[in-house]
Amino acid sequence: MPDNGWVSDVRHVLVLPDRDAAAEVAEALRERFGVAEEPRIVRDALAGEDDAEDAQWLVVLRDEDGRLDPGTLDEFAGEWDGWREEP
C-alpha cells in the first residue's frame, strides 16, 4: 500500500447482545489481545425500536497496524453470543 500521508483507519466492530457483554468484551480485549486504546461501546437501537431490550451493543476498536485477525475476533465475540461485523 503506498504511503500517501493518510493514517490507516482499520476498525473492527463487534456486535454484542447487551451492555454487560459489551463491557466484558472491551475489558477482555485489553487482557487477551493487548489492545492499548480504549474500545468504544456504542448502543445500536434496531430500526423502529425504542425499547432498550431491542438494542445491540457495539464494541468498536481501531487496529491501524492490522495485527488483529478478523476471524479470531469473530470467535472471541462468539464467546458472548456476539459476532464481528464489517464496518
- The domains of the chain, with CATH numbers, are 11-85 (3.30.70.3450)
Q: Which pLDDT score, from 0 to 100, does residue 79 have?
A: 97
Spatial strand order of the sheet with 83-85 comes to: 40-45, 55-62, 11-16, 83-85
User: How do residues 8-38 score in pLDDT, each as one tens digit?
Assistant: 567 899 999 999 999 999 999 999 999 988 8
**With contact defined as beta carbons under 8 Å apart, do 58 and 16 qualify?**
yes
The confidence band for 4, taking pLDDT boundaries of 50, 70 and 90, is very low
DSSP state of 47: T
40: alpha, beta or left, given left = phi > 0 and alpha = psi -120 to 50?
beta
pLDDT over threshold 70, residue 61: yes
